[in-house]
Amino acid sequence: MKKVITTVGTSIISNYVENGGKRLNSYKNYLKESFENWEEDYSISMKKTLKDWMKKVKEEDISAEIKSLLKIKKEEDCCLEVYLITTDTVASNLCAQLIADYFEEKKDDCIEVKYNPKTSNIKGLQIENRKKFVQEGLPNLINRIRKIANDYYDNVIFNITGGYKGVIPYLTIMAAVNGSSIKYIFEESNELITIPSLPLKIDEKIFFDYYSELTKLEKGIEDYSKVKNEKFAAFSELEKKGLVEWDDEYAFLSPIGQIFFNRYRDRYFTFYCTKGIWEQIHKEEDILRIIKTKFYSEENRESKTEDKGNGHKKVYDDGNNCNRIFYFIQNSNIYIYKVFSRDHDKYDQYIRTVKFEDEKQKTLKNAKSYKIEKEREKNV
């Protein structure tokens, strides 16, 4: 099964109007509104009108999204898990509901369409306000796609037939960077165009060298000129690479920067520790394996983190064994300050006698950033 990320436009509505439909005229202004102004009574009326029309026309004439999905299924010759992505408008979400209903009623076992207004609707993805589009809409879109892919893009197809044209450059770059294919219906034809995954070479060094600065930009920097002066060379280099955007004194990671930074983090786990801990991690095979396969995942890490006392509030406990990883988080960065994999008595003694604050200060003073390439557990 392949995942198909499908952006949803308003072709159902426009096709209905082009074929003489007039019953939606009174909803013109409402359809342009933000999805937060959704009115269920209005949608029921409009959906009934459009569903009646959809039954009267050929399947390929209903919408660009339906036509493209049917062609992708035929071309790929496999089942599809379709994720609908909508703009933050009433019209786009109305069309997405109609598409989801269409395939559910069609009972096509090989096309499973997923639409949930809480996750499919991308907040801030609109064309009225550029600042909102760049600072909110595009980051939300990029993060949503990353969650769908779940760090694995080999089985992901980007279907860009519908939706805002303004997102196409970003989706094209995102697909290319992560090795996914792109598909779309060419203009008014019935021809499906495929752009295969591209063998891009990415300079990953900049993301490792300036990892801390990039995480700050991702959160947003309020007083940018002051922060930049403190690390002028770093932020100047990031600006040259097109990874920084700013509005007056507020700076943030550009949408392109977000795409490339996410790709780097999907492949590598970056953390901070002293040289001694780094060497010990590589001596302890079980610890290295855990970091590569489990510890890097926030969900896995949090589920196994316990408070062991004496200030050691974040200790990764691997379960019925001696593997333990002591860490803390500061400024969104993870610091590992102690690991154990064999001697349980030394582990107990360490907890009782060594204070966390002492270890924290020593680590912050001497830590450097390191990266480890992620691996998936063999049983996953």
Res 380: pLDDT: 39
Residue ranges of the chain with pLDDT lower than 70? 187-188, 377-380
Report DSSP state, residue 127.
S
How deeply is 147 buried, as exposed, middle or buried, from its count of CB atoms within 10 A (0-12, 13-18, 19+)? exposed
* Residue whose pair of structure tokens reads 């980007």 in the numeric block: 158
Q: pLDDT value at position 127?
A: 87
pTM (two decimals):
0.85
Collect contacts of 183-186 with beta carbons under 8 A, ≥24 apart: 183/68, 183/72, 183/75, 183/157, 183/158, 183/159, 184/68, 184/159, 184/160, 185/64, 185/67, 185/68, 185/71, 185/161
pLDDT at 378: 57
